[in-house]
Amino acid sequence: MALDPQCVELMAAINDIGSPFDTDDPVEARRRVQESVNRAKPYGGRFKAVENGSLPGPAGGIAYRLYRPEDAVESPGPVLVYYHGGGMVFGSLDSHDPICRAIAEAVPCTVISVDYRLAPETPFPGAAEDAIAAFRWVVANAESLGVDPARVAVGGDSAGGNLAAVVSNETRGDPIPPCFQWLIYPNVDMAAEGGSIDAFAEGYFLTKSAMDWYKNFYAPDRASRLNPLCSPLRAESLVGVAPALVTTAGFDPLKDEGRAYVEKLKSDGVPVEYIDYPGMIHGYLRAFAIVDVARQTITDSARSIRAAFGMPAA
Protein backbone atom coordinates (compact mmCIF):
# COMPACT_ATOMS: atom_id res chain seq x y z
CA MET A 1 0.00 0.00 0.00
CA ALA A 2 1.39 3.38 -1.02
CA LEU A 3 0.26 6.88 -0.14
CA ASP A 4 -1.44 8.52 -3.12
CA PRO A 5 0.82 11.28 -4.57
CA GLN A 6 -2.13 13.66 -4.49
CA CYS A 7 -2.38 13.12 -0.74
CA VAL A 8 1.27 14.14 -0.48
CA GLU A 9 0.28 17.40 -2.22
CA LEU A 10 -2.69 17.74 0.12
CA MET A 11 -0.52 17.42 3.23
CA ALA A 12 1.89 20.01 1.84
CA ALA A 13 -1.03 22.41 1.37
CA ILE A 14 -2.20 21.70 4.93
CA ASN A 15 1.29 22.30 6.31
CA ASP A 16 1.45 25.62 4.48
CA ILE A 17 -1.62 26.83 6.37
CA GLY A 18 -0.94 24.94 9.58
CA SER A 19 -2.80 21.84 10.62
CA PRO A 20 -5.72 22.51 12.97
CA PHE A 21 -4.35 19.68 15.09
CA ASP A 22 -0.95 21.36 15.60
CA THR A 23 -2.27 23.78 18.21
CA ASP A 24 -3.73 23.41 21.67
CA ASP A 25 -6.02 26.39 21.07
CA PRO A 26 -9.44 25.48 19.62
CA VAL A 27 -9.97 29.06 18.44
CA GLU A 28 -6.74 28.92 16.44
CA ALA A 29 -7.70 25.50 15.09
CA ARG A 30 -10.97 26.95 13.81
CA ARG A 31 -9.11 29.87 12.24
CA ARG A 32 -6.85 27.48 10.35
CA VAL A 33 -9.82 25.49 9.08
CA GLN A 34 -11.45 28.70 7.88
CA GLU A 35 -8.20 29.66 6.15
CA SER A 36 -8.29 26.35 4.29
CA VAL A 37 -11.85 27.17 3.21
CA ASN A 38 -10.74 30.60 2.01
CA ARG A 39 -7.91 29.14 -0.07
CA ALA A 40 -9.83 26.20 -1.52
CA LYS A 41 -11.33 26.27 -4.98
CA PRO A 42 -15.06 26.79 -4.35
CA TYR A 43 -17.56 24.20 -5.52
CA GLY A 44 -20.47 25.94 -7.21
CA GLY A 45 -22.92 23.62 -8.89
CA ARG A 46 -26.47 24.12 -10.07
CA PHE A 47 -28.97 24.61 -7.26
CA LYS A 48 -32.58 25.66 -7.00
CA ALA A 49 -31.87 26.87 -3.49
CA VAL A 50 -29.05 27.14 -0.96
CA GLU A 51 -30.62 28.53 2.21
CA ASN A 52 -29.45 29.10 5.78
CA GLY A 53 -31.85 28.60 8.66
CA SER A 54 -32.17 27.74 12.33
CA LEU A 55 -33.91 24.82 13.98
CA PRO A 56 -34.78 24.41 17.67
CA GLY A 57 -32.26 22.49 19.73
CA PRO A 58 -31.95 21.44 23.38
CA ALA A 59 -29.95 24.58 24.23
CA GLY A 60 -31.28 27.06 21.66
CA GLY A 61 -31.20 27.43 17.92
CA ILE A 62 -29.04 25.17 15.73
CA ALA A 63 -27.93 26.70 12.44
CA TYR A 64 -28.36 24.65 9.29
CA ARG A 65 -27.88 25.04 5.55
CA LEU A 66 -30.27 23.46 3.04
CA TYR A 67 -29.11 22.54 -0.46
CA ARG A 68 -31.65 21.68 -3.18
CA PRO A 69 -30.02 20.89 -6.55
CA GLU A 70 -31.58 21.73 -9.90
CA ASP A 71 -31.94 18.04 -10.75
CA ALA A 72 -33.85 17.20 -7.54
CA VAL A 73 -37.15 17.01 -9.41
CA GLU A 74 -39.15 14.91 -6.94
CA SER A 75 -41.33 16.70 -4.43
CA PRO A 76 -41.40 15.57 -1.75
CA GLY A 77 -37.99 14.05 -2.38
CA PRO A 78 -35.38 12.30 -0.27
CA VAL A 79 -33.04 14.21 2.04
CA LEU A 80 -29.64 13.61 3.61
CA VAL A 81 -29.03 15.18 7.02
CA TYR A 82 -25.28 15.83 7.14
CA TYR A 83 -22.97 16.31 10.15
CA HIS A 84 -19.55 17.84 9.47
CA GLY A 85 -16.27 16.51 10.79
CA GLY A 86 -13.71 18.29 12.95
CA GLY A 87 -13.20 16.25 16.10
CA MET A 88 -16.24 17.88 17.74
CA VAL A 89 -13.96 20.94 18.17
CA PHE A 90 -13.86 22.65 14.75
CA GLY A 91 -15.64 22.45 11.41
CA SER A 92 -18.62 24.45 10.22
CA LEU A 93 -21.28 24.80 7.55
CA ASP A 94 -18.64 26.53 5.41
CA SER A 95 -15.84 23.99 5.90
CA HIS A 96 -18.02 21.17 4.55
CA ASP A 97 -19.98 23.16 2.01
CA PRO A 98 -18.16 21.49 -0.93
CA ILE A 99 -18.99 17.97 0.29
CA CYS A 100 -22.65 18.88 0.78
CA ARG A 101 -22.92 20.50 -2.65
CA ALA A 102 -21.16 17.58 -4.35
CA ILE A 103 -23.28 14.83 -2.80
CA ALA A 104 -26.50 16.81 -3.28
CA GLU A 105 -25.81 17.06 -7.01
CA ALA A 106 -24.49 13.52 -7.38
CA VAL A 107 -27.50 11.74 -5.87
CA PRO A 108 -29.39 14.19 -6.56
CA CYS A 109 -31.26 15.03 -3.36
CA THR A 110 -31.82 17.73 -0.79
CA VAL A 111 -29.04 17.96 1.81
CA ILE A 112 -29.39 19.65 5.20
CA SER A 113 -26.06 20.39 6.88
CA VAL A 114 -26.20 20.78 10.68
CA ASP A 115 -24.00 23.19 12.67
CA TYR A 116 -24.04 21.40 16.03
CA ARG A 117 -22.42 22.81 19.17
CA LEU A 118 -18.66 22.32 19.54
CA ALA A 119 -16.30 21.49 22.39
CA PRO A 120 -14.71 22.65 24.61
CA GLU A 121 -17.47 25.23 25.03
CA THR A 122 -20.02 22.42 24.87
CA PRO A 123 -18.57 18.99 25.77
CA PHE A 124 -20.29 15.62 25.48
CA PRO A 125 -23.20 15.04 25.08
CA GLY A 126 -23.96 18.42 23.47
CA ALA A 127 -23.07 17.52 19.87
CA ALA A 128 -24.94 14.22 20.08
CA GLU A 129 -28.04 15.87 21.50
CA ASP A 130 -28.01 18.50 18.75
CA ALA A 131 -27.55 15.84 16.06
CA ILE A 132 -30.53 13.82 17.30
CA ALA A 133 -32.70 16.94 17.65
CA ALA A 134 -31.86 18.01 14.10
CA PHE A 135 -32.81 14.66 12.60
CA ARG A 136 -36.11 14.58 14.46
CA TRP A 137 -36.86 18.16 13.44
CA VAL A 138 -36.34 17.33 9.77
CA VAL A 139 -38.73 14.37 10.03
CA ALA A 140 -41.34 16.41 11.90
CA ASN A 141 -41.09 19.31 9.43
CA ALA A 142 -40.73 17.27 6.27
CA GLU A 143 -43.81 18.75 4.58
CA SER A 144 -42.70 22.37 4.98
CA LEU A 145 -39.17 21.42 3.91
CA GLY A 146 -40.48 19.70 0.80
CA VAL A 147 -38.94 16.33 1.67
CA ASP A 148 -40.21 12.80 2.21
CA PRO A 149 -40.12 11.82 5.93
CA ALA A 150 -39.81 8.16 4.99
CA ARG A 151 -36.59 8.88 3.05
CA VAL A 152 -34.41 10.78 5.51
CA ALA A 153 -30.82 9.51 5.57
CA VAL A 154 -28.02 10.65 7.87
CA GLY A 155 -24.37 11.03 7.03
CA GLY A 156 -21.12 12.56 8.15
CA ASP A 157 -17.35 12.41 8.05
CA SER A 158 -15.06 11.62 11.01
CA ALA A 159 -16.73 13.21 14.06
CA GLY A 160 -19.78 13.72 11.85
CA GLY A 161 -19.74 10.00 11.10
CA ASN A 162 -19.84 9.43 14.84
CA LEU A 163 -22.93 11.65 15.09
CA ALA A 164 -24.67 10.00 12.13
CA ALA A 165 -24.12 6.60 13.76
CA VAL A 166 -25.31 7.91 17.12
CA VAL A 167 -28.47 9.28 15.51
CA SER A 168 -29.13 5.95 13.81
CA ASN A 169 -28.67 4.09 17.10
CA GLU A 170 -30.67 6.45 19.28
CA THR A 171 -33.64 6.90 16.92
CA ARG A 172 -34.07 3.32 15.73
CA GLY A 173 -37.22 3.07 17.86
CA ASP A 174 -38.72 6.31 16.53
CA PRO A 175 -41.90 6.13 14.43
CA ILE A 176 -39.72 7.19 11.49
CA PRO A 177 -36.02 6.34 11.93
CA PRO A 178 -33.29 7.08 9.36
CA CYS A 179 -33.54 5.02 6.21
CA PHE A 180 -29.76 4.95 5.66
CA GLN A 181 -26.47 6.04 7.23
CA TRP A 182 -23.40 7.20 5.31
CA LEU A 183 -20.32 7.01 7.54
CA ILE A 184 -17.12 8.47 6.11
CA TYR A 185 -13.95 7.44 7.98
CA PRO A 186 -16.06 7.60 11.16
CA ASN A 187 -14.76 8.03 14.70
CA VAL A 188 -17.06 5.48 16.32
CA ASP A 189 -14.98 4.52 19.38
CA MET A 190 -13.64 7.32 21.56
CA ALA A 191 -12.03 4.69 23.81
CA ALA A 192 -10.13 2.88 21.04
CA GLU A 193 -6.43 2.15 21.42
CA GLY A 194 -3.68 0.48 19.38
CA GLY A 195 -3.89 -0.91 15.86
CA SER A 196 -4.22 1.74 13.16
CA ILE A 197 -4.04 4.48 15.81
CA ASP A 198 -0.44 3.46 16.51
CA ALA A 199 0.38 2.43 12.93
CA PHE A 200 -0.48 5.89 11.59
CA ALA A 201 0.27 7.89 14.73
CA GLU A 202 2.36 10.51 12.91
CA GLY A 203 2.75 11.89 9.43
CA TYR A 204 -0.72 11.46 7.90
CA PHE A 205 -2.57 14.65 8.95
CA LEU A 206 -4.64 13.17 11.80
CA THR A 207 -2.22 12.08 14.53
CA LYS A 208 -2.54 10.08 17.71
CA SER A 209 -1.78 13.16 19.80
CA ALA A 210 -4.46 15.10 17.91
CA MET A 211 -6.99 12.40 18.69
CA ASP A 212 -6.14 12.70 22.38
CA TRP A 213 -6.48 16.49 22.06
CA TYR A 214 -10.03 16.47 20.73
CA LYS A 215 -11.17 13.59 22.91
CA ASN A 216 -10.01 15.50 25.99
CA PHE A 217 -12.04 18.50 24.87
CA TYR A 218 -15.19 16.60 23.91
CA ALA A 219 -15.20 13.82 26.50
CA PRO A 220 -12.84 14.82 29.34
CA ASP A 221 -14.49 12.24 31.60
CA ARG A 222 -12.94 9.05 30.27
CA ALA A 223 -15.83 6.95 31.58
CA SER A 224 -18.16 8.82 29.22
CA ARG A 225 -16.19 7.52 26.24
CA LEU A 226 -17.69 4.08 26.87
CA ASN A 227 -21.21 5.49 26.55
CA PRO A 228 -22.76 4.53 23.17
CA LEU A 229 -23.94 8.13 22.86
CA CYS A 230 -20.23 9.00 22.64
CA SER A 231 -18.87 5.77 21.11
CA PRO A 232 -21.54 4.01 19.02
CA LEU A 233 -19.26 1.00 18.56
CA ARG A 234 -19.73 0.41 22.31
CA ALA A 235 -23.49 -0.13 21.91
CA GLU A 236 -24.57 -3.52 23.25
CA SER A 237 -26.47 -4.16 20.03
CA LEU A 238 -26.90 -2.48 16.66
CA VAL A 239 -29.89 -4.59 15.69
CA GLY A 240 -32.45 -2.47 13.88
CA VAL A 241 -30.26 0.49 12.97
CA ALA A 242 -30.33 1.87 9.43
CA PRO A 243 -28.49 0.12 6.60
CA ALA A 244 -25.07 1.68 6.10
CA LEU A 245 -22.27 2.57 3.77
CA VAL A 246 -18.98 2.83 5.68
CA THR A 247 -15.87 4.17 3.95
CA THR A 248 -12.35 4.27 5.33
CA ALA A 249 -8.95 5.64 4.27
CA GLY A 250 -5.89 3.43 4.09
CA PHE A 251 -3.54 5.70 6.08
CA ASP A 252 -6.04 6.79 8.71
CA PRO A 253 -5.70 6.18 12.47
CA LEU A 254 -9.50 5.65 12.51
CA LYS A 255 -9.41 2.84 9.95
CA ASP A 256 -9.61 -0.06 12.42
CA GLU A 257 -12.65 1.27 14.28
CA GLY A 258 -14.43 1.89 10.98
CA ARG A 259 -13.83 -1.72 9.97
CA ALA A 260 -14.86 -2.92 13.43
CA TYR A 261 -18.13 -1.04 13.08
CA VAL A 262 -18.75 -2.76 9.75
CA GLU A 263 -18.22 -6.16 11.38
CA LYS A 264 -20.54 -5.30 14.27
CA LEU A 265 -23.24 -4.14 11.87
CA LYS A 266 -22.88 -7.39 9.93
CA SER A 267 -22.98 -9.55 13.06
CA ASP A 268 -26.17 -7.78 14.16
CA GLY A 269 -27.86 -8.39 10.82
CA VAL A 270 -27.66 -4.83 9.48
CA PRO A 271 -27.09 -4.51 5.71
CA VAL A 272 -23.78 -2.72 5.24
CA GLU A 273 -21.48 -1.88 2.34
CA TYR A 274 -17.81 -1.24 3.06
CA ILE A 275 -15.35 0.59 0.79
CA ASP A 276 -11.72 1.28 1.71
CA TYR A 277 -9.72 3.84 -0.29
CA PRO A 278 -6.21 2.50 0.33
CA GLY A 279 -3.98 5.41 -0.67
CA MET A 280 -5.92 8.07 1.22
CA ILE A 281 -5.41 9.98 4.46
CA HIS A 282 -8.00 11.12 6.98
CA GLY A 283 -9.96 14.15 5.79
CA TYR A 284 -9.23 13.72 2.09
CA LEU A 285 -12.88 14.04 1.04
CA ARG A 286 -12.84 17.83 1.40
CA ALA A 287 -9.98 18.11 -1.12
CA PHE A 288 -11.83 18.04 -4.44
CA ALA A 289 -9.39 20.43 -6.08
CA ILE A 290 -6.39 18.18 -5.37
CA VAL A 291 -7.50 14.57 -4.89
CA ASP A 292 -9.22 12.63 -7.68
CA VAL A 293 -10.28 9.88 -5.28
CA ALA A 294 -12.35 12.43 -3.35
CA ARG A 295 -14.52 12.90 -6.43
CA GLN A 296 -14.66 9.13 -6.96
CA THR A 297 -15.77 8.66 -3.36
CA ILE A 298 -18.69 11.04 -3.97
CA THR A 299 -19.64 9.06 -7.09
CA ASP A 300 -19.45 5.72 -5.27
CA SER A 301 -21.35 7.03 -2.25
CA ALA A 302 -24.06 8.67 -4.34
CA ARG A 303 -24.72 5.32 -6.01
CA SER A 304 -25.37 3.68 -2.63
CA ILE A 305 -27.44 6.57 -1.27
CA ARG A 306 -29.53 6.62 -4.45
CA ALA A 307 -30.28 2.92 -4.04
CA ALA A 308 -31.25 3.42 -0.40
CA PHE A 309 -33.70 6.13 -1.48
CA GLY A 310 -35.24 3.78 -4.05
CA MET A 311 -34.09 6.01 -6.91
CA PRO A 312 -33.17 4.59 -10.33
CA ALA A 313 -29.49 4.10 -11.06
CA ALA A 314 -27.80 7.01 -12.79
User: Measured between alpha carbons, how far is 1 from 24 in angstroms, rounded to an integer?
Assistant: 32
Selecting among 36, 158, 168, 231, the annotated active-site residue is 158
> Is 157 assigned a catalytic role?
no
Beta bridge partners of 112: 66, 81
Mean pLDDT to the nearest integer, 227-254: 98
Out of 36, 282, 301, 304, pick the active-site residue: 282
Report pLDDT for 21: 83
State yes or no: is 252 an active-site residue.
yes
- Residue 72: DSSP 8-state: -
The whole-angstrom separation of Cα 198 and Cα 308 is: 35
Question: Mean pLDDT across the chain, nearest whole number?
Answer: 96
Give yes or no for residue 41 having a pLDDT over 80: no
User: What pTM was estimated for this model as a whole?
Assistant: 0.97
Best-predicted range by mean pLDDT (1-10, 21-30, 144-153, 283-292): 144-153
Q: Where are the alpha helices (DSSP H) in the chain?
A: 5-17, 26-39, 97-106, 126-140, 142-145, 159-170, 196-199, 208-218, 255-267, 292-308
Q: Is 158 a catalytic residue?
A: yes
DSSP secondary structure string for all residues of 205-225: SS-HHHHHHHHHHH--SGGGG
- Which position among 4, 252, 256, 304 bears the catalytic label? 252
